[in-house]
Amino acid sequence: MARAVKTRTKLTFTIIGWTIGFLIFFPILWTFLTSFKSEGTAIATPPQFLFFDWTLENYHEVQSRSDYGKHVMNSIVISVGSTLLGLLLAIPAAWAMAFSPTKRTKDILMWMLSTKMMPAVGVLVPLYLIFRDWGLLDTRIGLVAVLTMINLPIIVWMLYTYFKEIPGEILEAARMDGASLAKEIVYVLTPMAVPGIASTMLLNIILAWNEAFWTLNLTAANAAPLTAFIASYSSPEGLFWAKLSAASTMAIAPILVMGWFSQKQLVRGLTFGAVK
């Protein structure tokens, strides 16, 4: 039976929860508000919260200067593409590690994760040269490949933890019924793992969407996603805070909406394996 909780305790926790939530959300809210200010109001002290002349001027300016649609398309293709390709590679790998582990499996998992520990800039020049020679610079295919490689360890790890929760006996039963390996993965394992795969997918789309090192360094004009779009409004010499805020709002809007609709899956994705 659940413990009885006093109303006052509940209220306190609710207030604390909302306050923390608001604090975390505040920078995004502030960016959103700033995007409707003029550059002058944006730097005003004391800062103006809601009572200022709201203007859409920044959005007009951003629209007229950059091709937002092209950047969004690139972001979608790159993040979704790399996630799907990643899943295609990671599902068999995670299957093997979860259901027929060897004594090296743990080491391999650690080794995969260790590739994430290297600073990306360390391999910038070699990768840049490979991309140059293969004609992959400033192409979506190139970025899909790189982001797949970068996120693969995380995808494998997430799927592995999820697959571990599925009883191996069910797969054995399928095998007894004469299912081939491919059929076992496609018809038995995958449907059972759909929630886990979905949350992995969502999380990786978000990671790929926000990736701002490779997407800036390997693109120029054609394959540049929204990260490059934002970077074009930041400036160390000159105040463009309102325009930068407008560009940021436009860049995070699609992924924010997607995150909103798939909250439940995401929370599951982030917490699974936490309670066993």
Partner 1 sequence: MSFRTLLLGAVSTLALAGLAHAETLTIATVNNGDMVRMQKLAEDFTKKNPDIQLEWVTLEENVLRQRVTTDIATKGGQYDVMTIGTYEVPIWAKQGWLLPLDGLASDYDADDLLPAIKDAVSYEGKLYASPFYGESAMVMYRKDLAEKAGVTIPEKPTWDQIAEAAKKMTDKSTETYGICLRGKAGWGENMALLTAMANSFGARWFDEKWTPQFDQPEWKKALTFYTDLMKEAGPAGASSNGFNENLALFQTGKCGIWIDATVAASFVTNPKESKVADQVGFALFPTGGVENHGNWLWAWNLGIPAGTQKAEAAQKFVSWATDKAYTELVASKEGWANVPPGTRKSLYANPEYEKAAPFAKITLQAMNAADTSKPTVKPVPYTGGQFVAVPEFQGIGTAVGQQFSAALAGSIKVDQALQSAQQLTTREMTKGGYIK
Q: Contact with partner 1 (CB under 8 A): which of 169, 238, 274, 276?
A: 238
Site for partner 1 in 134-163 (CB under 8 A): 137-138
Nearer to partner 1 among residue 41 and residue 105 (C-beta):
41
Q: Contact with partner 1 (CB under 8 A): which of 158, 201, 228, 246?
A: 228
Tell me which stretch binds partner 1 (CB under 8 A): 21-29, 75-83, 86-94, 214-222.
Answer: 214-222
In angstroms, give the least distance from the CB of 33 to partner 1.
Answer: 17
Q: Which residue is associated with the tokens 């449907």?
A: 191
CB distance 251 to 226 below 8 Å: yes
* Residue 232 in the binding site for partner 1 (CB under 8 A): yes
CB distance 139 to 120 below 8 Å: no
3-state helix, strand, coil in the chain (%, to 5): 75, 0, 25
Residue type at 74?
N
Tell me which stretch binds partner 1 (CB under 8 A): 41-49, 75-83, 148-156, 249-257.
Answer: 41-49
Nearer to partner 1 among residue 220 and residue 274 (C-beta):
220
Closest CA to 225 of 127, 155, 149, 146: 146
91 CB-contact burial (10 Å; exposed 0-12 / middle 13-18 / buried 19+): buried
CB distance 157 to 269 below 8 Å: no
101 CB-contact burial (10 Å; exposed 0-12 / middle 13-18 / buried 19+): middle
Nearer to partner 1 among residue 44 and residue 88 (C-beta):
44
In angstroms, give the least distance from the CB of 237 to partner 1.
Answer: 5
Contacts with partner 1 by CB under 8 A lie at 39-40, 43-45, 65-66, 124-125, 128-129, 131-132, 137-138, 216-217, 220-222, 224, 228, 231-240
